[in-house]
Amino acid sequence: MYKTVAETAKDISMPEYQVMRYVLEGRIRSVHDGEQFLISSDQFDRYFEQLQQIKEEIEIWKNTPIPEDIDIKDED
């Protein structure tokens, strides 16, 4: 099933201009029918799931404490 940029943006609560930017940058594959871009809902769902997974991994990375350096002695 294909959706317009406006329908896709509404479904995921994202501004239309951002979805359109993703389409123009090639992050989201779409088909242009001469008047508008149509986005495969399956393809976009996969992209959005990957984006969410990356965001979660970044949050985990940001919240992981930095281990103390075992070689903190200054031998000068």
pLDDT band for position 47 (cuts 50, 70, 90): confident
Would you say 25 and 19 are in contact if contact means Cβ atoms under 8 Å apart?
no
Between CA 20 and CA 5 the distance in angstroms is 7
DSSP string, the chain: -EEEHHHHHHHHT--HHHHHHHHHHTSS-EEE-SSSEEEEHHHHHHHHHHHHHHHHHHHHHHHSPPPPPS------
Where are the domains positioned within the chain?
Answer: 2-63
Between CA 2 and CA 62 the distance in angstroms is 36
* Residue range 12-33, pLDDT digits in tens: 888 999 989 988 998 888 888 8
pLDDT band for position 75 (cuts 50, 70, 90): low
